[in-house]
Amino acid sequence: MKNTYFKTFLYMAVFLLSIGMYAQTISGVVTSEDGPLPGAAVQIKGTNTGVSTDFDGNFSIEAGADDTLVFSFVGFATQEILVGDQDQITVTLEVANLLEEVIVTTGYGTQEKRDVTGAVTVIDAEDLVAIPATTFAQQLQGRASGVNIINDATPGGEATVRIRGFGTVGNNNPLYVIDGVPSDSQNNLNPNDIETIQVLKDASAASIYGARAGNGVIVVTTKKGKLGKPKITFSTYHGTQNAAKDVDALNARDLGEYLYFADVYAGKTPSHGQYTFPSGPAVSNPTIGIPNYVFPSGAASVNVADYSLTPSNIYAITESADTNWWEEVTRENAPIKSYQVEASGATEDSRYSFTMGYFSQDGVVNFVSYDRMSIRLNTSFDALDDRLQVGENFTVSLGNRKGGFGNNSEQNAVSGSYKHHPLLPVYDIAGNFAGSRGQNLGNNYSPYATIHRNQDDRTWRIRILGNAYASYEIIPDLTIKTSFGIDLNTDRTRNIGRPQPEYVEGNFINSSSQSSGYNYQWVFTNTVAWSKTFGAHEVEALAGIEAIEQFGEYFGAGRNKFPFETNDIISYLSLGDATTSSNYGDVGSDYSLFSQFLNANYAYNDRYLLSLTVRNDASSRFKKATNSALFPAASVGWRISEEDFFPQGGFISTMKVRYGWGVTGNQSIGDYNAYTTYRSNIYNSGYPITGSGVTIGFDAAAFGNEAAQWETTTTNNVGVDMALLDSKLTVELDIWDRKTTDMLLQVPITFSNGDAQAPAINIGGVTNTGYDLIVGYADRKGDFGYSLSANISGYTNEVDALDNPDSRIYGYGSRVPSMTVTQQGEEISSFFGFNTLGIFQSQSEADSWAPYGTYNSPGKFKIEDTNSDGQINDSDRGIIGSPHADYTYGLNLNLDYKNWSLNVFGNGSQGNEIFNYVRFFADFNSFQGNRSTRALRDAWQPSNPSAPKSAWTAANPNATSPIMDANDQTSSRVSTYLIEDGSYFRIKNIQLTYNFDDTINSLLGIAGGNIYLQAQNMITITDYSGLNPEIQTGADTTMGFDGGYMPVSKTVIVGLNINL
Amino acid sequence: MKNSYYILLFAILVSVGCADEFLDKAPQAKISTTGLASEDGIAGILVGAYKSLNNAGLDGQAPWENDIHNWVFGGIPSDNAVKGTDAGDQPEQSFIEAYDLNSFNNHIKNKWRGVYKGVARANDVITAIIALQEGDNAMSQAKADQMTAEARFIRGVMHLEAQKMWRNPIYVGDDVYNLNDVNSTKVPNTGPIWDKIEADFEAAASVLPATQSDKGRPTKWAAKAFLAKTMLSQGFPGGSANAGKLNSAKTLLLEVVNSGQFKLMDKFEDNFYVSTNNNEESVFEVQMEVSSASWDAGNAGIGLAHPYISPWGCCGFYQATQDLINSFRTDAATGLPLLDDYNKDNVTDPLNGAVVDPNQSFDARIDHSIGRPGILYKRFHIMGNDYIRDITYAGPYFMQKHVAEPEAFGVAGWGNISSNNYRIIRLSMVYLWLAEIEVETGSLEKAREYVNLLRARAANPDGFVPEAIQGAARGDYTTTANPAANYNTQEYPGPWTDKNTARKAVRHENRMETAGEGHRFFDLQRWGVQNDVLTKYVNFEKQYRIYLNNANFEFPKNEYYPIPQEAIDNSQLEGAATLTQDSNY
């Protein structure tokens, strides 16, 4: 009987409910400004009931009059509509407010931006692909506050990425996480495959990556298919590039004048192996005699029959010339192009996306180029009522860097163009490359011959990157996920050495060296995620374990004396002389990491937000006693605008304040830091002890440090996110500090312990403090829409401590002693040298100054006596500049009117300085090659050159370069003269796009498309005299060192996108 | 559903369970310290220590910045050599040449690095032997003693180099050295370290055998010769003789001479060819070896110091001075050197090297030591201005002894690098040292005897450079039966009665015999005559090498080099540097 009552009760209840919540079929369309939105979610609020829109944006759902429908779609603001008495609902979703609705991939899960409490920057994918580039990191430049990107203008070059300053003297590279696979490499990925990039800047956001997140994390997500009909897109662009700045060196006649004055002012009788100079008393406008032939030196006529270029008889007759080497080594209108085909789509239960791309770029320097082919496939499938999902993301790419150009390389085309003698032609009389054989022509390689001979050098790189995963909803709200990812790289380098018989230091021997290597990293991640809403309480939690292993090996070999120099012969070592064989091999990387992590997010009433994270990492790079560490983080947020007291509809639309604290780590040290090891090779320890034949012994290669542990970075971040003026204006401001302690530092070993590599030890610290600000404004007036966004970020950097208060860690030296130093109380890698206060105008001024050996005299630098000891010596060197920018910034303007849109993007850096090493060669009495125009035109000169030096008076008291003096070495010592302001602002991109209208679309039979015209790097505003103010850091103790950087290109591009 | 939990649990357990093994990464492609704890292993470390003798093998340095030939530190600041090449090449060497000695000069830094790396390697051998002998795997004590003695010899050679370079170097012994404690060798530099260098050579001499089958290993005579040189280096404090040190040295040097193992080569030049490596005159040679596959054990330190013409091409460093050219003049009648006024007239034109007076006679050693225009250069070609990179800068002469003969050129990838050993001590030096001692404390006549041994050898006409006639191609020449110049070297007829003249004669003989071998600056230093000689030299030479107007030898400051600032910076221990700069800097 009880059953009957119960049933009756149930029926009654259902009947009553049916009356009160009379369900009806609601249908409608979800659209955006651009048309119907397929795959948008329509859900009855507070339930799990929901549907997706079909291909035409249509939906149909059963709902009652009291129900509220929630319409959502990635990238668009969610809307809620009370059903009421409507049975037809048309909804137009607005593009999301970046501060609120954007989905952020934070570590192992996702969050809406409104709920994020850490410092995370999301980069709009459209902005990213706006600029053709080799790597996604290059495209990030100027887009994200707090992220300093320095590009490399060489084809195939990568970018240096620094997030929020420099936390350590060691490795400052951020961690990249690409579709869940961690990596330290940006290379070989097709930037067009990327859907979103998020930069996790503070520890509260990044600490889920624990031990590797000390320098920040960049999370990259590639494109996935979207619900709807298969969509096929074809994109291409073609462009031409021209060097944005040219080398400014002397011509043949002016170099002669320079050499004349340099001899005169040195007190020498002017003479030269090629030029003829006026004899007698010094004149101010000398007639410079230029010979017909530079080989034989200075000849007026030759016997052409004497020409010979054989090992036993080198007589390369060379006419004199007036060569502008920069013009010779560069090309005009170097092509750049890209093709991409993309197919994607999704059904209710499967998603797929496939892209294939080809990119090729020729350098503005001849014979240098890069190309890349890539294929990507992302798929996922649902089963078991959508509770099971399996999927994969994979990409394969083949990149190929061709030719020889290395920024900073002493003989590269840029520094070669400053240095190579203008009297030399490209070819001698027989059509062979002309060399500097001949007196006083210097020993520079012909820059043209060098790149010509290196044109068949190659670096091929194949990268396979991706993961396969499965997730399963065990019970409602609880999902387990397993993912296995791999990043596999192989590379092969071919380096062909061709004879340089014409070169004065050259030879007739050919050679070939080949190297090859591979490395892989696999990551196995298992997580369990739970989320639940209890009334006003929303809780999400994630726990996981992860194992990572990386290993790599390489080897290389070389031979000389190949019978032929064609690529089919000289590329293969077996054809070289076996007695000249050399080879090597080593381990490139070898480490493992095992981790557990836990993350919990809690929101109360959508306005109080709390996030807690803890990760435990154990790394093979540390001995067992120290190999495990905990990285906790906590952050809170308060969405003030949700509070009742907050005025609705006022000036401020939404506002959230956040505070985060957390700890991250850095383990970027050698793999075997704990071990003292020896090596055995002929260079370090081979000695012919028996008197014939080399015996190879051992010597210590690396000192171990068993006590090393993680470097720890503790971050505090206060942020505010605001949308104002009806959400047209958005502001994100973060103020932060980053304190690195237990810094892993390779403290230079006292030389008396030998020269084995120093181990990383935990010592000292660095503090960075800074701010990141992004301001955006967007509005639309009818057909006219515009948006303007700006970001700016700055930091200060200070080394808190090194191993000892007076310790100095020197940077790179090259032909000059180290010009950077890192020491306590100063910025990492400050410039180090003498401070020049000007130029002595007279002998009496020189005599009254603190003596500097025999140096002080009219026209020479007045060096500051920094320690006031009355003389200039070693101890007067000090910190003379900073490679750190005061701030970096980006500006982005978008205008659109009907089918037209215009984008202008610029970025800049302010307050950083550059050590212009090229001037060491170009401005001073260095080798016998060419000089810069500064060295002649800006040099101090006496108005009475034939008078004794003591009576000299200044002809040009405002001169900025020292007097030309063939005997002067001292002026070239590292001083402020070589340090320049590196500030710049560059209009990086101007792009005008026309989106096809329906008429054109139907005419062409396509679904949509656009065509655009783009101009890059058209304007650079800078006082820097080098070719490119963007100087990468190399090692971080050598920041801002410009040894000849390839200039950026002014590029004009036409592009086409077609959607089918 | 339960199955899923089990799977999850299993996954966690498996992962946790294998973590220890998973995280254990023993070094690959590296040799462990334990792997070398054996007689063979230590023998290999000892070979590594020998490697430091030729001072290549130091990562991050150019080999010439730290070369045992000492052409940079002993040559170009002396009156024998100028840097050469062109004004801008290797400015750090120009600063050394001009006595503008800075503590941040990379050459000086790398010399310190190289010397003390050698010391560290020697100490590594000794401490490894001590550890091995205390364990179960000990080698025979005789073997251990031999290896220890060799290591102490190397340690002595390196410290002697340091003492020549710096007024107050450090001495690092195996008592402080600890491979695994990078602070262990931060010892203060409190003064000269002569006694400790002597102790190392003494200990080595007492154990080392009279002969070695491996030519690179020192004999007891080598150790005694180095010990004697160490004493001789203290033999003239402030320029006046210390009879005690000199007499102790004499005893040792006589033992070397009387061992019967050494004899002068018939021809002077036979000390400077690859084909005559490890000859009977050599007391100790630093071994060099190249093959077509590798020059990593060759004499890379002198790679730059070759003429600027094919086949070498690179790089024109290490030219000879006019002062040195003139010093080889001999009196036409007596065949004796012009001890006082050799610079009165230039025998060749300082600007182009042309012979001024064809009748001028020379000591025959000149053209084996120096390349000068018109004379056959080491059998390659007739030397010409094309040897020189910028004749208006550093003049027309080139150093020669270190350059290998044509047959030995081009074996390695960089053809300049050869197997030409560096004869760091040879019998002729022993005779010269004995002569020095006899002048001060013994018999002038005995001194004359020693000097005449070398003069007699130099006068051997078989060893004269022949006259050569240029052929059609640059490298073609034919030689005649005539000598290349008017060589006239005769023995001092004696008797020597004036000590000052005798001293001058011995020292002048030393200069001619060892010119271009990297000793001159340090010989002037140990004789206490740097200030006098170098000031005079600069005043003379700067007439022709204008840039030397900037050179100013400051005494006593420039007697020694400054301690590299980086060495001082890196010697921090508990907040203070253990090294202090030479107070003259």
Look-up of token digits 């494109």: A223
Partners of residue A314 in chain B, C-beta under 8 Å: 310, 474
Output the CA torsion B424→B426→B428→B430 (10° steps). Answer: 90
Contact A545, B15 (CB under 8 A): yes
* pLDDT per position as a tens digit, A147-206: 888 878 888 888 888 888 887 777 888 999 998 899 888 887 888 888 888 899 888 888
pLDDT, chain A, mean = 89
pLDDT interval class at A99 (50, 70, 90): low
Chain segment A498-555, per-residue pLDDT in tens? 999 999 888 899 999 999 999 999 999 999 999 998 888 999 999 999 999 999 999 9
pLDDT score, position A22: 53
CB atoms within 10 A of CB A551: 18
The string of DSSP codes covering A442-508 is: -SPPPHHHHHHHTTT-EEEEEEEEEEEEEEEEEETTEEEEEEEEEEEEEEEEEEEE---TTSTT--S
Contacts of B60 in chain A (CB under 8 A): 755
Nearest-CA neighbor of A141 among A906, A1036, A992?
A906
For chain B, say whether A1035 makes contact (Cβ under 8 Å). Answer: no
- Using the predicted structure, report yes or no on whether residue A18 has a pLDDT greater than 50: no
Nearest C-alpha neighbor of A979 from the set A888, A883, A914? A914
**Residues ≥6 apart with Cβ < 8 Å to B1:** A474, A475
Show residues of chain B in contact with A967, CB under 8 Å.
87, 546-547, 549-550
Question: With contacts defined as CB-CB under 8 Å, which chain B residues touch A670?
Answer: none
Least confident residue range of A227-231, A520-524, A669-673, B291-295: A227-231
Cβ contact, residue pair A697, B474, below 8 Å: no
Cβ under 8 Å to A: B residues 417-476: 419, 473-475
Return d(Cα A705, Cα A708) in angstroms, integer. 6
> Which pLDDT band, with edges at 50, 70 and 90, does A21 fall under?
very low
CB-closest option in B315, B415, B567 to A751: B567
Contacts of B44 in chain A (CB under 8 A): 680, 685, 696-698
Average pLDDT on B425-436 reads 98
Q: Which band of pLDDT confidence, cut at 50, 70 and 90, is reported for residue A101?
A: low
Angle of helix B220-232 relative to helix B243-258, nearest 10 degrees, comes to 160
* Number of Cα atoms under 13 Å in the Cβ half of residue A311: 8
Nearest to B431 by CA among B402, B456, B459: B456
pLDDT of amino acid A78 = 76
Which one, of A758, A949, A927, A794, lies nearest residue A420 by Cα? Answer: A927
* C-beta atoms of A620 and B23 within 8 A: yes
pLDDT score recorded for residue A953:
94
Backbone phi, psi, residue B466, to 5°:
-80, 160
CA distance B162 to B203: 19
Band (B1; pLDDT cuts 50, 70, 90): very low
Using a CB-CB cut-off of 8 Å, the residues of chain A touching B124 are 699-700, 754
The answer for A 39-98 residues in CB contact with B (under 8 A) is none
Residues 6+ apart with CB under 8 A from A452: A366, A367, A433
Chain A: closest CA distance from residue B346 (Å): 20
Listed by number, the residues of chain A in 798-817 with a beta carbon closer than 8 Å to a beta carbon of chain B are: 803-808, 810, 813, 815-817
Q: Is the complex ipTM higher than 0.90?
A: yes
Give, in order, the Cα–Cα distances in Å from A474 to each of A532, A543, B1, B4, B405.
Answer: 14, 15, 6, 7, 83
Does the pLDDT at position B317 exceed 80?
A: yes
Comparing CB atoms, the residue among A312, A509, A672 nearest residue B27 is A672
* A688 to B419: CB separation less than 8 angstroms, yes or no: yes
**Residues B211-254: pLDDT tens digits?**
999 999 999 999 999 999 999 999 999 999 999 999 999 999 99
Q: Which pair of structure tokens corresponds to residue B377?
A: 């250069």
Q: Tell me the Ramachandran region of residue A934: left when phi exceeds 0, alpha when psi lies from -120 to 50, beta otherwise.
A: alpha
Residue among B41, B294, B385 whose CB faces A582 most closely: B294
pLDDT tens-digit map of A553-568 = 999 999 999 999 999 9
CA distance A818 to chain B (A): 8
Angle, alpha carbons B208-B214-B216 (nearest 5°): 80
What's the confidence (pLDDT) of residue A69? 86
Which residues 18-47 on chain B approach chain A with CB closer than 8 angstroms?
19-20, 22-25, 27-33, 35-36, 41, 43-47
Q: Give pLDDT tens digits for B138-165.
A: 999 999 999 999 999 999 999 999 999 9
Least confident of A142-146, A383-387, A473-477: A142-146
Q: Does B105 touch chain A (CB under 8 A)?
A: yes
pLDDT digits (tens, 9 = 90+) for A850-861: 999 889 999 999
Angle at A553 between CA A551 and CA A557, to 5 degrees: 175
A591 inside 8 A of chain B by CB: yes
Q: Which chain B residues touch A618 with a CB distance below 8 Å?
A: 19, 23
Q: Which of A443, A691, A815 sits opposite B278 (nearest CB)?
A: A691
Helices and strands in chain A: count of H runs, count of E runs: 14, 58
Cα four-point dihedral sign B72, B78, B83, B84: negative
Cβ of residue B575 closer than 8 Å to a chain A Cβ: yes
Q: Could you tell me if A583 lies within 8 Å of chain B, comparing CB atoms?
A: no
Cβ contact B30–A702 (<8 Å): yes
CA distance B503 to A779: 97
- Does B13 contact A at CB distance below 8 Å? no
Question: What average pLDDT does the segment A1027-1037 reach?
Answer: 77
Q: Is A476 near chain B, with CB under 8 Å? A: no
The per-residue pLDDT for A138 is 79
Select the more confidently predicted residue: B323 or A946.
Answer: B323
Chain A residue numbers with beta carbons less than 8 Å from the beta carbon of B86 are: 440, 442, 927-928
**pLDDT-derived band at A20, boundaries 50, 70, 90:** very low
Nearest by CB: A676 against B119, B120, B179: B179
The partner residue sitting opposite A700, judged by closest CB among B92, B179, B567, is: B179
Whether the CB-CB separation of A672 and A685 falls below 8 Å is answered with: no
| Banded model confidence at residue A46, pLDDT cuts 50, 70, 90 | low
Q: How far apart are alpha carbons B536 and B523 in whole angstroms?
A: 16
Q: Using an 8 Å Cβ cutoff, are A971 and A1025 in contact?
A: no
